[in-house]
Amino acid sequence: MQACVPALEAPGRTRRVWFVCDVLGIACAAGTWVLVLGAAGVLLRALLLPARDAAYGVAHGALFHLLAFLALAAHERAMLTDPGSVPLGAAPGGPRCPLCGCARPPRANHCMVCQRCIRKMDHHCPWVNNCVGEDNQKYFLLFTLYTALGSLHLLLLLAVPALRGYARGEWDSHSTLTPRASLVFLLLVALKGFLFASAMFATQMHAICTDRTRIEQLQREGAEQGRGSTWMNVKAVLGHPLSLAWISPFASPQAQRARGPRGVV
Ligand SMILES: [Zn+2]
Ligand SMILES: [Zn+2]
């Protein structure tokens, strides 16, 4: 049976180290890191280091590794941030969860993997080995964003030289994409990453803009509550005010909300 481990749960502190002890999730999360780091290494060895133009290699190497770094940083924050677990044995009154016994607030759902009720639970994602909920949705969104951008960059790096070679009639002779095993590996990683991450980014943006979690969408709940404008809904997840912190996996949206003007989200 899996268990959720909120270590360092000091009273009065909202920031906790959080790690879900789920073997499948740990394997998927580790696999994500292996794919990203593997793609970065193969890209360097097979495509960028052999490039005749050093500036081309440095510029694209720096861009891809920056996107990969931001994706992995967001992945780590999504995995290790408490997604919004409802404290066990919370204040009496209201409906109680029959599975974990907490006083379940509105819009919270019980996760069978985390074995806890999670505020605004969207879904449990094995690729980040955690629930996506109220307190880590920003990090999950950034993980999908940077993964999609990095994968798109990789696809373009593969496609542009190949198309140039094809245009010159050198489809079989261009040398920058050898050996072929590296090309196939990069192509598969880039395609999988782009298709998966861009689809997840789109569904997350839809959920954020409409302020309806995927569970609420499936249960057809939440639409009647009219929870504010799209702009307010986005700021409620990414923080207030609009700033570069929105795209930083190192900036906590909770801290931004705390510093923001009272009553403004
Ligand atoms: Zn529960
Ligand atoms: Zn969960």
- The per-residue pLDDT for range 119-139, each reduced to its tens digit, is 999 999 999 999 999 999 999
27 and 69 in one domain? Answer: yes
89 and 78 in one domain? Answer: no
Torsional sign, CA 123, 101, 237, 128: negative
- Alpha-carbon span 77 to 56, nearest angstrom: 32
From the list 111, 125, 131, 209, the catalytic residue is 125
Question: Quick one: average pLDDT of 174-179?
Answer: 54
**Near ion ligand 2, which residues have CB within 5 Å?**
111, 113-114, 124, 131
- Cβ-in-10-Å burial (0-12, 13-18, 19+) of 217 comes to middle
174 and 108 in one domain? Answer: no
- Ligand whose nearest atom lies closest to the CA of 104: 1
Is 125 annotated in the active site?
Answer: yes
The residue type at 85: S
- Ligand whose nearest atom lies closest to the CA of 114: 2
State phi, psi for 63 to the nearest 5 degrees: -65, -45
Rounded to the nearest angstrom, the distance between the alpha carbon of 151 and the centre of ligand 1 is 37
**Near ion ligand 1, which residues have CB within 5 Å?**
97, 99-100, 110, 117
Domain encompassing residue 94: 85-119
Rounded to the nearest angstrom, the distance between the alpha carbon of 88 and the centre of ligand 1 is 9
Does residue 208 form part of some domain?
yes
- Ligand whose nearest atom lies closest to the CA of 78: 2
Rounded to the nearest angstrom, the distance between the alpha carbon of 123 and the centre of ligand 2 is 7
Share of the chain above pLDDT 90, in %: 57
188 and 106 in one domain? Answer: no
Secondary structure (DSSP) of 175-188: -TT-SHHHHHHHHH
Number of domains comprising the chain: 2
- Alpha-carbon span 253 to 115, nearest angstrom: 25
- 209: Cα within 13 Å, side-chain hemisphere: 6
152 and 111 in one domain? Answer: no
93 and 194 in one domain? Answer: no
- The per-residue pLDDT for range 4-61, each reduced to its tens digit, is 555 444 444 455 679 999 999 999 999 999 999 999 998 888 888 888 888 988 999 9
What pLDDT does 11 receive? 44
76 and 24 in one domain? Answer: yes
96 and 196 in one domain? Answer: no
pLDDT grade for 182, boundaries at 50, 70 and 90: confident
173 and 73 in one domain? Answer: yes
197 and 71 in one domain? Answer: yes
Helix (H) and strand (E) counts in the chain: 7, 6
- The per-residue pLDDT for range 214-227, each reduced to its tens digit, is 998 888 765 555 56
55 and 97 in one domain? Answer: no
